Amino acid sequence: MLLLKIIIAPILIGLVSLAGRKWGPGISGWLLGLPVNAAPILLFITLQQGHPFAAAAAYGSLLGLTAWAFFCLVYSFCCPYWPWWASTLAGWTAYCATGLILMRVHLRLGWIFALTVMAISVILFVLFPQPAQERPVQPRPGYELWLRMITATVMVLVLTGVAAQLGPQRSGILTVFPVYTSILAIFSHVQSAGAAVKVLRGVTLGLYTMAVFCATLSIFLVRFSALPAFLLSLGAASVIHAMSLVFMRRGAKA
């Protein structure tokens, strides 16, 4: 189990980072909409804590998506004016404040899904700022990819380790804490504020995929064993993610 945690997380964030280098910051952010973070953590929680606990954690992760979207929004507003560390602190503060409020929410899954999708839509299409004017791209430091991969591994180890102490809903909300998003945003911000905004807009668009994954997993885990539950949820999420890519490409052309 420990070996799987150490291997999966850095590979996933490494592939997302390399894709961003090839196709641009928006694509790397959009790829984070895939449950590259939540799926491994929820899988380990399922194997360690059982299906009922993991189903409740998936419900908590669905709740946490609104906090994740607020992180992206606040960081995007701050990064044209503030350095990366101040923008990150502001974004994390927004996430934590929203998460504390969401911990008190206890609604049916269908209502949570609808409200989450509505919140993401308002943030993405109404409130999100336009990217700032680009500046010349600076060379990336050689250690950047390794730093991303090491941070990803530490996050998975810590979150799965404390899941039992936090309880299912809180551990679920913490599962979608935007550590991967922060890593991509910070390194993009070092290049330019416009690149950071593109990354975060791509992430926010990808949260529709995460919403579908978390909602379906919360349902399937109480009906099926782990393997079919995760495969069905990943399949449903992949369909939504493909649709969001079509939307992203049309928006880029426009």
Q: Kindly report, residue by residue over 180-228, the tens digit of the pLDDT.
A: 788 788 888 888 888 899 889 989 999 999 999 999 999 999 999 999 9
CA distance 76 to 199: 9
Could you tell me if residue 133 is inside a domain?
no
The 3-state DSSP class for residue 63 equals helix
pLDDT of amino acid 27: 77
Across all residues in the chain, what is the average pLDDT? Answer: 83
58 neighbors 171 (Cβ within 8 angstroms): no
Could you tell me if residue 14 is inside a domain?
no
Q: Is the pLDDT reported for residue 137 higher than 70?
A: no
Could you tell me if residue 77 is inside a domain?
yes
Could you tell me if residue 124 is inside a domain?
yes
175 neighbors 158 (Cβ within 8 angstroms): no
Could you tell me if residue 32 is inside a domain?
no
Instruction: List, in order, residues 6 or more apart from 156 with CB less than 8 Å away.
Output: 5, 8, 9, 37, 40, 41, 44
Q: Residue 160's domain spans which residues?
A: 38-128+144-253
Average pLDDT over residues 2-17: 68
pLDDT of amino acid 16: 73
∠ at Cα 128 (126, 129), nearest 5°?
Answer: 120
Could you tell me if residue 114 is inside a domain?
yes
Q: Is the pLDDT reported for residue 159 higher than 90?
A: no
Could you tell me if residue 194 is inside a domain?
yes
Q: How many domains does the chain have?
A: 1
Q: Is the pLDDT reported for residue 149 higher than 60?
A: yes
Could you tell me if residue 17 is inside a domain?
no
Who wins on pLDDT, 114 or 249?
114
